[in-house]
A = this chain, B = another copy of it.
């Protein structure tokens, strides 16, 4: 392990974090709403502490870095998300009404990982500057995952590598550092552009700049934090609430697609979408589930809604869940069990690789589905040759085994995570649905869960140790398991 590289890169990360905090501090300073003095102090203090530690790390790791070896890269990713969550939590700890250390870590990890679960029961008790920082953590988390996708996941494998190979811009041999930087910059531009367009639209629909930008940042990052206690449901009293919901659902949908493909399409190669199984399946599944739930709610005598009202509600919730954003309008906790089970499946699947969405990713789900379908055929045609193609890329047996392994591991972590949550919360009568919902909501970076942790509730009543455990699951899920699991392998830490 080359600790010099680790120190330098992580130090730079903290400096970036510090600048972002200071920017929110400036907003708090300029903001006319009362009570933001405390927010400003908290944000500047946090920025100073973070900058101090970041500077020490950078100085400790001075020197030119030619390239980051694989093992160091994996470690940087895991530690980067953990450190960001620790230092990013300072404003919540310093500013009244104060969060405890564990809760603040949960809230920040929930931001940095674009999860959106919250331990804050009443957001109106917190100054706007802090809530802006809360939204900014999600936006930064979204940038982080896109850069990570380009720079690290490209050689981490599991379904993302093959995607790279097929893009014409990556056809010519190995991806060089310059090429990686260019690609990351392109994706960042798309991300920033989408944020601006979304915010302008929301502003046009009558939101204040503050609310428009807050919701825009957490929509394109599929984060789902809102400065309102009622989330997007706050706007349901407005005359144009349907438009606001549609606008947000549009951006949640776009940002669940592979940003590399968006880049290709933006360069006028429209036909590229045709070979993009991910996007087609993602959209198809969302539409199918939304229509199914709408039909079910219309037919169910306990829900007296007409079909279009039901579809409007189910569409927003389905997109919000499938994109792993977690914005809330209606309380899906009141829907029948089968609707919740469908939402749980969407939570597991998540969005497309290369998006800001979480979950185990559509492409893995496709590999697994196609692989399973073949096994059925092979039961009576044992010698049939099996050629697995996803997004136009053929996969060999090893890649197939790795992907299905990932799917099964993901599901095992959900099951074991539920056990741990149940053990940590033992004695308070937590039910199985709530345990499962808590793990799904955090591991897949959704936000709201089921049962006592449903969309109208929050994670404040959990024990602090449970909150920290769930925060760990957020990071584990956000980094697609391996970058975090590696941290627990002693051999990975060995200096060589």
Contacts and interface: CB of A to CB of B under 8 A. Distances in A.
A450 B427 contact: no
A489 interface: yes
A400 B400 CA distance: 9
Interface stretch (A34-42, A267-275, A332-340): A332-340
Interface in A321-346: 336-342, 344-345
Contact of A302 (B379, B427, B432, B483): B427
Contact of A426 (B156, B338, B408, B422): B338
A381 B494 CA distance: 13
A185 interface: no
A349 to B, nearest CB: 10
A423 interface: yes
B376 A485 contact: yes
A305 interface: no
Contact of A382 (B70, B344, B348, B372): B70
Contacts of A405: 368, 371-372, 375, 400, 404
A402 interface: yes
A28 to B, nearest CB: 40
B482 A422 contact: no
Contacts of A74: 379-380
Listed residue (A158, A296, A402, A491) with the most chain B CB atoms within 10 angstroms of its CB:
A402
A377 B489 contact: yes
A420 interface: yes
Interface in A448-496: 450, 481-483, 485-486, 489, 491-492
A387 interface: no
A425 B337 CA distance: 9
Nearest to A400: B401
Interface in A374-433: 375-382, 396-398, 400-402, 404-409, 411-412, 415-416, 418-423, 425-427, 430-433
A contact patch SS? helix
A435 interface: yes
B375 A415 contact: no
Contact of A379 (B342, B397, B433, B485): B485
A204 interface: no
Contacts of A427: 300-302, 336
A345 B300 CA distance: 33
A12 B420 CA distance: 51
Listed residue (A372, A421, A489) with the most chain B CB atoms within 10 angstroms of its CB:
A372
A345 B397 contact: no
A156 B402 CA distance: 23
Given A345-B416, A407-B408, A426 B375 contact: no
28 contacts: A71-B380, A71-B381, A74-B380, A300-B426, A337-B418, A337-B431, A337-B432, A337-B435, A338-B421, A338-B435, A341-B415, A341-B418, A341-B419, A344-B432, A371-B402, A372-B405, A372-B412, A375-B405, A376-B489, A377-B489, A378-B402, A379-B486, A380-B489, A380-B492, A381-B491, A397-B397, A401-B401, A432-B433
Leading 10 A-B pairs by shortest Cβ distance = A338-B422, A401-B401, A397-B397, A379-B482, A404-B404, A337-B422, A71-B380, A372-B409, A400-B401, A338-B423
